[in-house]
Amino acid sequence: MLKKIAVITAGLSIISCSDTDDTPESSCGVSDPKLELEWLKSEITNREANLSEDSKYCYIAQADLKGQTVFIYKDCNPAINKVIPVYNCSGNQIGLLHSDISPNSLNEEFILWKTADFACTEE
């Protein structure tokens, strides 16, 4: 009898526990942060309206930082050493890459926005 209970309990545990989620993963609770996060949409609009020779080196990356979606204002211009701010979903700066936040602590990083004449090598 005890063996039967153990088998049933194990079966129910397997059925009820799943580490897969069928819902699409969202960023900051939205499906398209570039369009749905007003502060980010405004930043992109501003960048697109004020293009310069250096704009081709600038881009916005999105990554995961300890379970939190973050946005990084990056620059790949080899001629400068730029401070790289990191923002949370609310548009608040949470630190600077390399000084407050280690690049190694970022996961699933990808380019969210770049100019049409983007000059950087995508990794």
Question: What tokens were used for 36?
Answer: 């749905």
Question: What tokens were used for 112?
Answer: 């969210």
Model pLDDT for residues 62-112, shown as the tens digit of each residue: 999 999 999 999 999 989 888 999 999 999 999 999 999 999 999 999 999
**What's residue 122's pLDDT?**
66
Indicate whether this model's pTM tops 0.85: no
CB 111 within 8 A of CB 94: no
**What's residue 121's pLDDT?**
83
Helices (H), the chain: 2-16, 33-36, 38-49
**What's residue 3's pLDDT?**
54
Backbone angles phi, psi at 115, to 5 degrees: -75, 165
Model pLDDT for residues 8-54, shown as the tens digit of each residue: 444 444 334 433 333 335 689 999 999 999 999 999 999 999 999 99
